[in-house]
């Protein structure tokens, strides 16, 4: 895909760490992958190290659909044409307005839906860089098991959370890995054995973006990510 367009940064201190350079690249970094594949953690790492960047999570629009609907009408929100159109319109508007990279962490495995959103954004002239984070199923299962504590706390607080093997993430794991391995979902990035920092480094290099130096230690990163999970369990 064509290189991202450069813009003169207008306002210092845009979201993202550090000082904004004189020019920044405007592009969409769509971080795809199975549930539990590290999309959100990678997006946050990129955001911290890309001055002027912005995280736009398409899942938030889907949650809005779910909250509007009675329980009997809820299903996978990606199946709603309005969600796909809404994500396209929102990202189209944002990409035409911001001065830095836009990061969208979202699992998207239906080829038709992929074309409706990412294909249309590309056809509209936006610089879209798509990355599918892949790993061995056993590696992702281990990551998902680490979330079991979060689910247990939520059940103790009275939330109707399915048991681990019945979660949406586990039910979709095999299909996600199979679909995202196809050529149309390039660029694939194997994350087995990589830290979140290394995954972000690889994405930055592939997209031609200069990331700021990672600040922190591996142990500190693990504690921070564990803390996020516990906060989610205690506040949701």
Confidence (pLDDT) at 23? 47
The full DSSP string for 47-101 is HHHSTT-EE--HHHHHHHHHHHS-GGG---GGG-HHHHHHHHHHHHHHHTT-SS-
Pairing type for strands 54-55 and 23-26 reads: unpaired
Q: What is the pLDDT of residue 86?
A: 97
Q: Can you give the pLDDT at residue 171?
A: 87
Angle between helices 218-235 and 196-207 (to 10 degrees): 100
28-32/128-134 β-pairing: parallel
Per-residue pLDDT of the chain (236 residues; tens, 9 = 90+): 445 554 433 323 334 444 444 445 899 999 999 988 999 999 999 999 999 999 999 999 999 998 999 989 988 999 999 999 999 999 999 999 999 999 999 999 999 999 999 999 999 999 999 999 999 999 998 888 877 677 667 767 777 655 555 577 888 999 999 999 999 999 999 999 999 999 999 999 999 999 999 987 555 555 555 455 445 444 44
pLDDT at 10: 35
pLDDT at 155: 66
Residue 17's pLDDT is 44
**HEC profile for 118-153?**
HHHHHHCCCCEEEEEEECCHHHHHHHHHHCHHHHHH
What's the pLDDT at 20? 42
- Structure confidence at residue 63 (pLDDT): 92
* Nearest alpha-carbon partner for 44 in 169, 224, 180, 234: 224
- Model pLDDT, residue 143: 83
Count CA atoms within 13 Å of residue 107 on its CB side: 18
Q: Which residues contact 82 (CB under 8 A, 6 or more apart)?
A: 65
Closest CA to 211 of 31, 24, 61: 24
Domains recognised in the chain with CATH numbers: 5-136+183-214 (3.40.50.300)
pLDDT at 218: 58
Residue 232 pLDDT:
44
């Amino acid at each position: 895909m064509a290189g991202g367009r450069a813009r003169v940064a207008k306002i210092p201190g845009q979201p993202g760490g550090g000082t904004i350079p004189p020019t920044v690249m405007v592009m969409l970094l769509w971080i795809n992958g199975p549930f539990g594949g590290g999309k959100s953690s990678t997006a946050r790492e990129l955001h911290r190290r890309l001055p002027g960047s912005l995280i736009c999570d398409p899942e938030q629009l889907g949650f809005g659909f779910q909250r509007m609907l009675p329980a009997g009408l809820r299903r996978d929100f990606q199946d709603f044409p309005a969600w796909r159109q809404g994500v396209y319109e929102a990202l189209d508007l944002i990409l035409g307005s911001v001065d830095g990279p836009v990061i969208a962490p979202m699992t998207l495995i239906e080829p038709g839906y992929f074309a409706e959103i990412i294909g249309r954004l590309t056809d509209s002239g936006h610089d879209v860089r798509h990355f599918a984070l892949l790993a061995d199923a056993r590696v992702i299962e281990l990551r998902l098991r680490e979330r079991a504590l979060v689910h247990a706390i939520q059940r103790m607080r009275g939330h109707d959370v399915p048991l681990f093997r019945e979660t949406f993430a586990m039910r979709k794991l095999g299909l996600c890995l199979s679909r995202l391995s196809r050529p149309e979902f390039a660029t694939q990035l194997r994350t087995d054995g990589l830290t979140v920092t290394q995954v972000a480094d690889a994405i930055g290099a592939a997209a031609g973006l200069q990331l700021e130096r990672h600040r922190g230690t591996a142990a500190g990163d693990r504690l921070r990510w564990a803390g996020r999970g516990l906060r989610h369990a205690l506040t949701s």
